Amino acid sequence: VTTFLGCDIIEKRSLALKKVRRFFEEKDLCEVDPFHLVPYSSLDTHIALFHVENGGYLHSSPELMMKKLLGKYKKDIYFLGHVFRKEEQGSKHLCEFTMIEWYRIDFTLNQMIQESVELLGLFFPNIPAQKMRYCDAFMKYTGINPMTASAEELQNYLRTKNTFCHAEAKEDLLDLILSLFVEPHLGNDSLTVITHYPADQAALSNVFEEDGLLYASRFEIYFKGTELANGYHELRDPMLLKKRFLESNRIREKNNQELLAITDDLIQGLTHFPDASGVSIGFDRVLMLYLNLSDISQIYP
Amino acid sequence: MPSLTANEIKPGMKVEIDKDPYAVISNQFVKPGKGQAFCRIRVKNLMTSRVVEKTYKSGEKLELADVTETQMRMLYEEPDGVVFMDETSYEQLTIPFSVIGDHKPWLKEDTLYEVIFYKEQPIDLIPPTFMSLQVTETAPGVRGDTASGRVLKPAILETGAKVQIPIFIEEGEMIKVDTRTGDYVSRV
C-alpha cells in the first residue's frame, strides 16, 4: 500500500498543481515567480528565517516581492511555489512548503473570501462555507471572551485543561488556547471562515471600526481543524506599517529573536501598490486533507 | 548539561524539569497562522514514572538531564539492597530496594539489567523484556478443566513473581515471561 501511495502521490500532486494553475488562468491572473532569495523579511512576528551565508534570507512568504510587482505592473498576480520557515516541523508544519498566494486589485475582503472558498472548492466540492467571528469562535468552544479576558483568566482556563505553560503574555496565551482548544473544532463539516480578528492581530491588513471596536480586515479559513488560508484587505499606510514593524520587533526582542530590518525601501515596497486584497493558502495542507492523510510529510514524494 | 530549544526536543531524550529528570515521550508542534508557536511535550518523570504534559514556547530552552544507562549484572541480594556489577568496569554497586521497587519480583542472579543513573545515582532498573524462569509453585493441572473455559492458573516463579500460566504447565518447568506485563509467553 505504501509503495502504491509513494508512486501515486507524484501524479496526484501534479494534477493538483495543474488544477490550481488552471483556476488562475481562467481568471486571467498572471503567474509570478519572484526570487526566493530576498534581502529583507516581511512583517512576521513569529516566523524564524533561514539566513543565507552571503546575506539575505530564503523568503518565508512571497509577499514583499509580490507587492512590489503589484505596484510596478498593477496586474492581478498569483504565486505557486515554495516558502521557508525555520523551526516549523510537525504533523501540519514543514520548514519548506508549497504556498498559493494571490493578489486582486480593487477586491474587497468579502470578494477575496469568496474567491478563496471557490479555489478550495476545487478540492472540497459541495462543502458549504460558513462565517464566524474570531471572538464568537473563542466564546463557543472555550467560554472565554478574548477581547476582555485577562492573562490570569487565560492561565486559569489552561489549568482546568491540565495544560501548564510558562507563557505570561496575553497574546501568547490566546494563541495557545486557540491552537489547542478552538482550532480543532473549526471546519468539521464546513469551510469555516474566521473574520473580525482583533486589531492587534492585523499583521499586514487594514483595520476597520464596528460598534466602537477596531478589527483587522483579515480572515482565515479552516477545514477539519486545519488552517488553510489567511487573507487581508492589504494595508497601504506607511506610517501604520512602520508602527507595526516596531511593535513586532518589540515582541521579537522579548522572545530573543533576531530583529527585523526596517528600511525605507522595505516600507515603500510593502505599501506602494493599488488598493487590493490578497490571500495565501497552504497547498500541502489542502492536498493532505484532500487525500485524507494525517501527516503533512506524507504528501511529499 | 547542554540545553535545547523546545522545538528541538525529540522522543527518547531526557530533560530536566523543576530539578527532576524526565524521559520525552512525544513532542507536538502547534502554531496558529500568525501566532506564537508552542511545543506540547509529553514526558515521564523518571523518579515517579508519572506521565505529564508540559507546554513551552517553541524558542524556550530546556535543559538536558544528566541521565545515563548502564548494563549491570545482578550478583546477590543483601539486607539493604541488591549488589550489581558494571559489565564494562567490573565495579560493584549496591542498589537499595527503594530504587528497585516493583521490579523486585524480576531479580535473578547472573542476569543483565539496564540501570538508569541520574547525576550518577541509580534511579531505576529495567529487567530484560523476556526472562526464562522456573515455576516453583502451582496447583497441578486438572484434566478436563479446559472444557469449562478455565485455561490459566496462578503460579509463583523462582524470583517470587506471581503470574498466570496455562493449566498444562507443571511445577519445576521453565517458562518465558514478558516482564513488562507479567504475561506468560511460552514454554522454554
**pLDDT single digits (tens) B101-146:** 889 999 999 999 999 999 999 999 999 999 999 999 998 876 655 5
Question: Min CA distance, B153 vs chain A (Å)?
Answer: 41
Interface of A with B in 99-138 (CB under 8 A): none
Q: What per-residue confidence (pLDDT) applies to A255?
A: 82
In the predicted model, is pLDDT for residue A62 greater than 80? Answer: yes
Decide: A62 and A78 in contact? Cβ < 8 Å: no
Q: In what order do the strands lie in the sheet with A77-84?
A: A30-31, A77-84, A96-105, A276-282, A226-233, A218-223, A191-195, A129-133
A209 near A198, Cβ under 8 Å?
no
Would the pLDDT of B6 be above 70? yes
Q: What's residue B1's pLDDT?
A: 80
pLDDT at B144: 58
pLDDT tens-digit readout, A284-296: 999 999 999 989 9
CB contact set of B101 (below 8 Å; sequence gap of 6+): none
Nearest CA among A80, A112, A113 for reference residue A97: A80
Instruction: Return mean pLDDT, chain B.
Output: 91
| pLDDT, tens digit, 9 for 90 and up, residues B20-34 | 999 999 999 999 888
Give A180-186's long-range contacts (Cβ < 8 A, gap of 24+).
A180/B30, A180/B40, A181/A141, A181/A142, A182/A137, A182/A138, A182/A141, A182/A142, A183/A222, A183/A225, A183/A226, A183/A227, A183/B32, A184/A225, A185/A140, A185/A141, A185/A225, A186/A132, A186/A137, A186/A222, A186/A225
pLDDT for A158: 92
Contact B32 A163 (CB under 8 A): no
The Cα–Cα gap between A163 and A182 comes to: 14
pLDDT-wise least confident of A253-257, B23-27, B92-96: A253-257
End-to-end Cα distance, chain B: 45
pLDDT confidence bin for A277, thresholds 50/70/90: very high
Which span out of A2-16, A98-112, A147-161, A286-300 was modeled with the highest average pLDDT?
Answer: A98-112
Nearest CB partner across the interface for A46, out of B37, B52, B56: B37
For residues B9-17, give the mean pLDDT.
93
What one-letter code names the amino acid at A270? L
Rounded to whole angstroms, the Cα distance separating A279 from A99 reads 10
Of A182-191, A212-221, A260-269, B178-187, the range with the lowest mean pLDDT is A260-269
Say yes or no to pLDDT of A187 above 90.
Answer: yes
To 10 degrees, the CA torsion angle through A200, A203, A207, A212? -10
Main-chain dihedrals φ then ψ at residue A94, nearest 5 degrees: -130, 150
Mutate to test the interface with B, among A179, A180, A186 (most CBs of B within 10 A): A179
Identify whether the C-beta of residue B95 lies closer than 8 Å to the C-beta of residue B115. yes
Mean pLDDT across the stretch A3-26? 84
| A226 near B CB under 8 A | no
ipTM for the whole predicted complex goes beyond 0.85:
no
Q: Give the pTM.
A: 0.83
Is A153 in the B-facing interface, judged by CB distances under 8 Å?
A: no
Distance CA B115, CA A31 (A): 61
State whether A175 and B36 contact (CB < 8 Å). yes
Query: Rounded to whole angstroms, how far apart are CA atoms B137 and A128?
Result: 68
- B30's grid cell: 502547534
Cα dihedral B11→B12→B14→B17 (10° resolution):
30
Q: Which residues of A touch B62 (CB under 8 A)?
A: none
Per the CB < 8 A criterion, the answer to whether B54 and B17 are in contact is yes
* Identity of the residue in B28, B32, B36 whose CB atom sits nearest the CB atom of A183: B32
Contact present, B30 and B11 (Cβ < 8 Å): no
Give residue A42's pLDDT band: very low, low, confident or very high (50, 70, 90): confident
Q: Is the pLDDT of residue A183 over 70?
A: yes
CB B88 within 8 A of CB B27: no
